[in-house]
Structure 1
Amino acid sequence: MKRTFIDPFLIALVAVVGIAYIFPYPGTKASPFHLDEIADFGVSLIFLFYGVQLGPEKLKAGLSNFRLHIIIHVSTFILFPLIVILCRPLFYTSFLQQTWLPFFFLAALPSTVSSSVVMVSIAGGNIPAAIFNASISSLIGVFITPIWMSIFMQQNGNIELGSVIGKLLLQVLLPVVIGLLLNKRFGEYAASKKPALKLFDQTIILLIVYCSYCESFEEGVFKGFALSNLLLLLVMVTVLLMFVYELINLLTRLLHFSREDRITASFCGSKKSLVHGSVMSKVLFANAPNSGLVLLPLMLYHGVQLLIISIAARKMQQAKNNGIAERLDRPGSV
């Protein structure tokens, strides 16, 4: 799987959607199992463990490179949403009109943490800056993502901004802060248990996805959903990722960033977090029967970003080893 860039987690995501289609009842609100509440508790533990592993030293290490920070966060929280807003007229069919808000939700999300840092490390980028920016992006997203979503969801009376941010503060930010405080005591132990914690993270995400799709299948959200629609969404998320990735790469070259900083900017600025998307969808789209559709573009984007950025990272690693890094690091090389 590693040789063919296939992440087992992607296979698990597809499998969970299939299980939700066959056995939707256990994940619905009518079920006595309360899987939704278990997922809520698991989310808080994810961010608690994230804070324990992070520690203030890792944040301080990448603090000084302001130009790099600005590029990454402007790309994540401004460039992405503006692109989707400008492309709204292209969502003209009834199916595409249903998917525009899920696409905008994808665009408004923060960058992912773990995979960004891993890919930057493989490619030979600025690792401390990657840790800093991916971590800060996660915290900024608690505020920025709901603000962006409120602009378009408020029109239908679907969102109370203060309530949403309050829930995310309790479920995301508070556990991170507690984890940071526990870092000195348990940081090394948490670092030694990274594989187990990663498995726990993925299990909770799969549980959230399962519950979302159970509700959507139960409500008939995907009736008449053709394979061609899925392929269209796949093409759209791929184009979005490649456009942003190449734009950041070009901009950082024009600004004469070092190779290491260009890699970090391109990888961190073009990625989106499935963890935060899963959590925020539960808060922003609470009780919505189409939560499965809300997560669909994000799930496709997650798969595409892992595939493309993995290929890019390994090409850059090989180029660096062979002394031809500058040639393969140019825009269009992915």
Structure 2
Amino acid sequence: MEILRRLRIEPFIVAILAAVVVAAFLPATDGAATALGWVTTIGIAVLFFLYGARLEPRELRAGLRHWRLHSVVLVATFVAFPLLGLLGQWVLTPVLGASLAAGFLFTTLVPSTVQSSITFVAIARGHVSAAVVSASVSNLLGVFLTPLLVFALMTTDGSVKITWDSVGTIALQLLLPFVLGQIFRDRILPITNKIKRLALFDKTVIVLVVYAAFSEGVAEGIWTMVGVPQLAVLVVACCVLLAVVLGLTELVSRVLGFEERDKRVVQFCGSKKSLATGLPMAAVLFVGQPLGLLVLPLMIFHQIQLIVCAWLAGRYGRAEETPAAPAAS
């Protein structure tokens, strides 16, 4: 229960919620909004540059040695999740409206988390090295696959519009910095390794993205569009989505005959959605769209997955520590 208690009061989550509250009462407007837009634009580019620099190429090569395991995680992340998202969007649109339902779909299109996935696999006594590879590969492919999935699935009904200008912005702000990070990785890492609390930069950029998104949402009257009943429905929908994916990943890994350590990798890496990657992507992908509504489902799902998976990982870990009962004579 200790890990659950810590995650519930995670300062990063508190900072995100605080950004929403501050935006509700003190939104950035006029010149401040313009300046904030430039800051977040530069911050997102630097963020993806650092993502590229941190990704160890050897992890990708190592993934080929356990291709069945990583293939299942990728299918769960980029095939099963989006299919469930499409179904959820169809069901939720009449209740939540087009933008929130589209945000629910977007939640299912982003890559898996890295840090929390690995942490939960470790707590559950799973295959940690395989989790590192699966989570890293998911994030790498997500930089390319998530925009493609958004184009393919979210622009067909008119609820989200992406122009060719947006394609150029995505390439310049997400893909190019990421590739440059990989290219200059050997030169950048010695510098970043000397900087203490570099993760604080990542989290600061995400909090600024949240603040900017909800400042824009307040100007558009977001809280007049979302009522308590809609929020309740959205929370239930996120809970159902997580439960279905956790169940599917457990079932598939069992059918494929994975050992217990590998089952935990499939379940925890295949059921996560990354707020750290998803929010900056949304800020680039949905320029001119109701960003606050589109990212709200991801923020809710992220918190739910932390709480539920912390409990589940602790349960698995305690089961592994419990010695088997002696056989009856």
Same fold by TM-score greater than 0.5: yes
> Who is 2:18 aligned against?
15
Which residue of 150, 153, 156 corresponds with 2:155? 153
> Who is 1:284 aligned against?
285
Identical columns (%): 35
Looking at structure 2, the residues matched to 183 and 117 of structure 1 have their Cα atoms a distance apart, in angstroms, of 22
8 Å Cα contact 1:120/1:126 also seen in 2: yes
Deviations 1:74-108 (A, max 9, x none): 11111111112234442253534442111111111
1:124 aligns with 2:91: no
Alignment of 1:115-194 (within 5 A): 115-150=116-151, 151-156=153-158, 158-160=161-163, 163-187=165-189, 190-191=192-193, 193=195
> Who is 2:229 aligned against?
228
RMSD, matched Cα: 2.4
Looking at structure 2, the residues matched to 310 and 120 of structure 1 have their Cα atoms a distance apart, in angstroms, of 10
Q: How many residues are treated as equivalent by the alignment?
A: 319
* Offset of residue 203 of structure 1: 0.7
Looking at structure 1, the residues matched to 31 and 322 of structure 2 have their Cα atoms a distance apart, in angstroms, of 59
8 Å Cα contact 1:13/1:206 also seen in 2: yes
* Offset of residue 293 of structure 1: 0.6
8 Å Cα contact 1:71/1:265 also seen in 2: yes
8 Å Cα contact 2:120/2:268 also seen in 1: yes
* Offset of residue 148 of structure 1: 2.5
Residues 1:236 and 1:310: Cα distance change in structure 2 (over 3 Å): same
8 Å Cα contact 1:61/1:128 also seen in 2: no
Deviations 1:256-276 (A, max 9, x none): 111121111111111111122
4+ aligned runs moved over 6 Å, structure 1: none
8 Å Cα contact 2:206/2:279 also seen in 1: yes
Looking at structure 2, the residues matched to 234 and 309 of structure 1 have their Cα atoms a distance apart, in angstroms, of 16
Structure 2 counterpart SS, 1:283: helix
TM-score, normalization by structure 1:
0.86
Residues 1:70 and 1:234: Cα distance change in structure 2 (over 3 Å): same
> Who is 2:312 aligned against?
312
Alignment of 1:42-81 (within 5 A): 42-81=43-82
Deviations 1:27-86 (A, max 9, x none): x45436611211121122222223333222233333311111211111111111111223
In structure 1, stretches of 5+ residues that fail to align are 325-334
TM-score, normalization by structure 2:
0.88
> Who is 2:271 aligned against?
270
8 Å Cα contact 1:62/1:131 also seen in 2: no
